[in-house]
């Protein structure tokens, strides 16, 4: 997809996520950052107090987690060793960088490597969101796979170490992390209610102004202007990963942006999209990517193992399924 198509797809996504409430109950601001559209809706009358602060949090997060900004912390990490044979480290790392790397490594370990921020060489190679993406030659994929593996990194205090060449891409978790920061900020400032939509992640703060619970529509991957159903929630976070937002097609095959760290190809899975519901925003984001890679059977076994506390809605090739703990909160269409 071209940039403008991605932009429109994201806007449509945001629309389908909006929790229907009269506009005059909210102050609203839209920000384009982290390669996506962020829509922040807060308690009427509080926008002037909080929107600048929200923009500051987003700018700061980009300065840390962007893979494309020249002086971001991720870029500094990625460019500070290009020699494959040397082990190295980046020290004096910021607290958010260290925290999110540690969390990412934990999710990798617990998901058996389905989620892996060392995926960067493959993301760069596939360049799905580039101007004219192509299917890479298998020899390039195999070469990139050599450098993928979360076991090749570890953290001590404010230093991030790596064995040989390791490059990271935090695109599957940084949006969720930033969303969590925004919601914490609004909560700390006593904003009574807010609803933030952040590139496939939604954060719900406080109680819905018009009463009742929040509703979050789950998009239909085959018709993104429509939904497969609605989640009704008290609050928390919903993160969605799917094959329909960022992809290109070649010879009838869809090559999307979620890569299987074991094969080096876009994950071949029976899941079209998965929405994770969780009280932890970055965990929700990371897990939605991991569950997508796992496929339905493995994802369900992972849920049943209770490694993390979350619920999920799966849109699969043969129907929509929810995990046990959320089945009464999902209304299929």
Q: Which of Mg ion, ligand ADP, none sits in contact with 136, Cβ below 5 to 8 A by type?
A: none
Min. distance of Cβ 285 from Mg ion in angstroms? 4
Q: Which of ligand ADP, Mg ion, none sits in contact with 264, Cβ below 5 to 8 A by type?
A: none
Strand 236-242 with 271-278, pairing: antiparallel
Min. distance of Cβ 283 from Mg ion in angstroms? 10
Min. distance of Cβ 176 from ligand ADP in angstroms? 7
Q: Which of ligand ADP, Mg ion, none sits in contact with 42, Cβ below 5 to 8 A by type?
A: none
Nearest to 175 by CA among 154, 151, 201: 201
Q: Which is nearer to Mg ion, 50 or 168 (CB)?
A: 168
Instruction: Read off the DSSP letter of residue 132.
Output: S
Min. distance of Cβ 200 from Mg ion in angstroms? 7
Q: Which of ligand ADP, Mg ion, none sits in contact with 171, Cβ below 5 to 8 A by type?
A: ligand ADP
Element containing residue 236 per DSSP (H, E): strand 236-242
Q: Which of ligand ADP, Mg ion, none sits in contact with 199, Cβ below 5 to 8 A by type?
A: ligand ADP
Determine contact, residues 181/95, Cβ cutoff 8 Å: no
Q: How far apart are CA 144 and CA 138, in angstroms?
A: 10
- Where do we find the tokens 């029976």? 270
Q: Which is nearer to ligand ADP, 46 or 273 (CB)?
A: 273
Query: Which residues contribute to the site for ligand ADP (CB under 6 A)?
Result: 115-117, 119, 123, 169, 171-172, 175, 199-200, 241, 245-246, 257-259, 261, 285, 288-289, 293
Residues belonging to the chain: 333
- Residues 246-305 contacting Mg ion, CB under 5 A: 285, 288-289
DSSP 60-119: HHHHHH-SSSTTSHHHHHHHS---TT--EEE-S--HHHHHHHHHHHHHHHHTTTSS-GGG
Q: What are phi and psi of 158, to 5 degrees?
A: -105, 30
Q: Which is nearer to Mg ion, 115 or 255 (CB)?
A: 115
Return the range that interacts with Mg ion (CB under 5 A); candidates 28-36, 97-105, 148-156, 169-177: 169-177
By CB under 5 A, residue 243 contacts Mg ion:
no
For residue 283, the SS3 value is helix
Q: Which is nearer to ligand ADP, 68 or 92 (CB)?
A: 68
């Amino acid at each position: 997809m071209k940039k403008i198509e991605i932009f429109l797809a994201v806007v449509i996504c945001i629309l389908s996520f909006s929790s229907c409430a009269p506009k005059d109950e909210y102050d609203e601001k839209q920000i384009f950052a982290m390669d996506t559209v962020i829509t922040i809706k807060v308690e009427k009358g509080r926008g002037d107090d909080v929107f600048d602060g929200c923009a500051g949090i987003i700018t700061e997060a980009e300065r840390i987690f962007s893979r494309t900004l020249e002086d971001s912390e991720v870029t500094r990490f990625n460019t500070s060793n290009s020699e494959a044979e040397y082990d190295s480290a980046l020290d004096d790392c910021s607290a958010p960088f260290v925290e999110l790397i540690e969390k990412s490594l934990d999710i990798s370990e617990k998901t058996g490597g389905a989620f892996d921020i060392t995926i960067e060489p493959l993301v760069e190679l596939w360049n799905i969101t580039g101007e004219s993406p192509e299917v890479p030659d298998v020899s390039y994929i195999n070469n990139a796979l050599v450098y993928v593996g979360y076991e090749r990194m570890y953290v001590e205090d404010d230093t991030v170490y790596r064995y040989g060449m390791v490059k990271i891409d935090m695109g599957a978790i940084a949006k969720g992390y930033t969303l969590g920061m925004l919601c914490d900020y609004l909560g700390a400032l006593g904003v009574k209610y807010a609803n933030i939509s952040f590139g496939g992640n939604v954060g719900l703060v406080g109680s819905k102004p018009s009463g009742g619970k929040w509703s979050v529509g789950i998009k239909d991957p085959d018709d993104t202007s429509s939904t497969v159903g609605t989640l009704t929630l008290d609050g928390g976070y919903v993160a969605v990963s799917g094959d329909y937002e960022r992809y290109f097609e070649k010879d009838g095959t869809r090559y999307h942006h979620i890569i299987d760290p074991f094969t080096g190809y876009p994950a071949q899975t029976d899941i079209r999209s998965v929405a994770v519901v969780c009280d932890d925003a970055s965990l929700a984001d990371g897990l939605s990517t991991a569950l997508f890679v796992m496929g339905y059977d493995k994802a369900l076994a992972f849920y049943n193992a209770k490694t993390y506390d979350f619920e999920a809605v799966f849109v699969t090739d043969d129907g929509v399924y929810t995990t046990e703990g959320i089945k009464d909160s999902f209304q299929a269409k």
